[in-house]
Amino acid sequence: MVNINPFYRGQAQARRAMSGPGPKATDARLKAMKEANAIPGVRVVPAREELRDSLVHYPTGRRFRSEGSVEWPNDRFTQRRLADGDIKLAEETEAKPAHGRRHSAE
């Protein structure tokens, strides 16, 4: 009987796979792969101060400090927290005036 399953590994394929691993990865290639797959970070602050103690970036376990901002990876978890309004980008809050009023040049 002949097996026509395309996912079947016959004896010839099994022997080839068991012959040993391929060439080892070089340090330069591992470094290039790490840089290519790196997720860029964003600096965020909590939207409300009472959320500071409870918000945690669960994929990495990063918490907020007692004051200031923290850098989180710009991944789906962070994007959902931004969409929910639980956190804000630090650049947006620093760019606005502290009291929210414009001074006239008069």
Domain segments of the chain: what residues?
38-98
Query: Tokens representing 70?
Result: 């923290």
Beta strands 87-89 and 56-57 are unpaired
Digit-coded pLDDT (tens) for 16-72 = 555 555 567 788 888 888 888 887 889 999 999 999 999 999 988 999 999 999 999
User: What per-residue confidence (pLDDT) applies to 96?
Assistant: 55
**21 beta partners:** none
The answer to pTM > 0.75 is no
Q: How many CB atoms lie within 10 A of CB 73?
A: 16
Beta strands 56-57 and 70-73 are unpaired
